[in-house]
Amino acid sequence: MSIDMSQFHEAFFEESFEGLEIMESELLDLDVGEGDVEIINTIFRAAHSIKGGAGTFGFMNVSEFTHVMETLLDEMRDGSREVTQFAVDSLLQSVDVLRTMLEAARDKTDVDEVMVAERYAVLEGILKSEGDDEGATDEPEKTGGEQSWKIDFAPHPDLLMAGNNPVRMFKALQELGELSAVANLDKMQPFTEATPEDLYLAWELTLTGDVSEADIAEVFEWVEDECDLAITSLGGENEAVSEPVPAPAQQAVAPTAAPVAAVKAKAPSKPKPKPKKAPEAASIRVGIDKVDEIINLVGELVITQSMLDQAGEDLEAIADSASGDDSESKKANAEILLRLSKGLAQLERNTRELQEGVMRIRMLPISFVFSRMPRLVHDLSSKLNKKIELVV
């Protein structure tokens, strides 16, 4: 069963650009020193959503770049790394690079790989530093020669339904080194019992190359809740590896494990308590053309209501001018006019409320106009080395 992901790309890009706006806005509000944990959590969630979506749709360069940002944010929120101005500025510049990468992926154009590599190296340098971000080195970490790894990968049956595809993971592993794969048919169901949408295969993979366990775990990170994974070292040319990832010979990646990164980090003396997540307002994504169509229909409804209201007034005038002494007929007409009058009044009230509600849906917050100003002032302040206060 193959799923065409291109139909979902538009929604992914739209949500990703919204996530970048959230990241930029929250980074500008993040205080240096002991940063607000809830703000960092908000930035982390936006980055995690972009990384997961990019991995699902096969934009591996976006996923890998966002992963290193996510790792830095994770260290900030658990208290193992102090929030510094250099780190905040680096993350802001990384948001700009990520926006460029997403635009290139959306428009199917080439991205400046040198710019991406330079920004990636800066983030890696911060992660390798022991808190002195300005002294971070851009030297990439070495794994210590060719290594061989055995990877036992058993996807859960519903992995395909979540939009993930093992083939993309195998292609990512092939970029790391020489890969061989053998299917494990032990979980295969009889055809009479199998469900077409489910996945019953498992694989035993062997990967050889200048690659670390962290690199392998990163490939499977976005499906860690949807598979059973065990990575075993088979040795290599250089057993003495500098800065190895501390792990036993065979380790299953736990579903709730934090992103693996081969970096140094100061252990926090006391983890900071995390505040409860603020409830988020529920919302749905609706195209503007659909909203405009409803606005036009409401406009027609207002016109119809006005016509009925005028007809009611005309009927009332005719009843008042009618001659005759038939009191019963007049009483019946009066009751009919009363019901008509109440119905028209209720229709007018409901129509007015409906019109106001639809117009509120179409409106945009005034902050949308000024949302770019804080970043502009921040960059200008850094360039001129002056403190600037923006008042809107």
How many angstroms from the chain centroid is the CA of residue 148?
A: 34
178-184/202-209 β-pairing: antiparallel
Q: For residues 279 and 148, which has the higher predicted lDDT (pLDDT)?
A: 148
Strand extents, DSSP E, the chain: 147-155, 178-184, 202-209, 227-236, 250-252
The answer to whether the beta carbons of residues 69 and 91 sit under 8 Å apart is yes
**Tens-place pLDDT, residues 255-274:** 333 333 333 333 344 444 44
Q: Is the pTM of this model over 0.75?
A: no
Calculate mean pLDDT across residues 125-142.
60
Please report, to the nearest 10 degrees, the dihedral formed by the alpha carbons of residues 123, 125, 131, 134 taken in order. -90
Q: Can you say whether residue 69 is alpha, beta or left, with left for phi > 0 and alpha for psi between -120 and 50 degrees? A: alpha
- Grade residue 154 by pLDDT with cuts at 50, 70 and 90: confident
pLDDT value of residue 201: 82
User: Looking at the predicted structure, is the pLDDT value of residue 237 above 60?
Assistant: no
Question: Which pLDDT score, from 0 to 100, does residue 337 have?
Answer: 75
Between residues 176 and 43, which one has the greater pLDDT? 43
* Highest mean pLDDT pick, 68-77, 188-197, 229-238, 342-351: 68-77
CA neighbours within 13 Å on the CB side: how many for 242?
Answer: 5
- At 240, the pLDDT band (50, 70, 90 cuts) reads very low
Query: Among 151-155, 182-186, 315-319, 337-341, which is the least confidently predicted range?
Result: 315-319
Q: Which residues pair with 231 in a beta bridge?
A: 151, 251
Residue 290 Cα distances to 67, 287, 296, 298, angstroms: 36, 5, 10, 13
Q: For residue 283, give both structure tokens.
A: 């919302």
Token readout for 256 is 């709730």
Mean of the pLDDT values across residues 217-226? 79
User: 101-105, 137-141, 234-238: which has the minimum mean pLDDT?
Assistant: 137-141
pLDDT given for residue 37 in this prediction: 86
Tell me the pLDDT band of 324, cut-offs 50, 70 and 90.
low
For residue 134, the one-letter residue type is E
Within the chain, residue ranges assigned H as helices are: 6-29, 37-56, 60-77, 85-107, 113-128, 166-174, 213-219, 288-321, 327-362, 367-370, 373-384
Residue 102: predicted pLDDT: 92
Residue of 163 and 62 predicted with greater confidence = 62
pLDDT for residue 66: 92
* Mean pLDDT value across the chain: 76
3-state secondary structure of 290: helix
- Look at residue 345 and tell me whether its pLDDT is greater than 90: no
* Tokens (6 digits) for 354: 């409906």
pLDDT for res 314: 72
- pLDDT for the residue numbered 279: 45
Predicted confidence (pLDDT) at residue 32 exceeds the cutoff of 70: yes
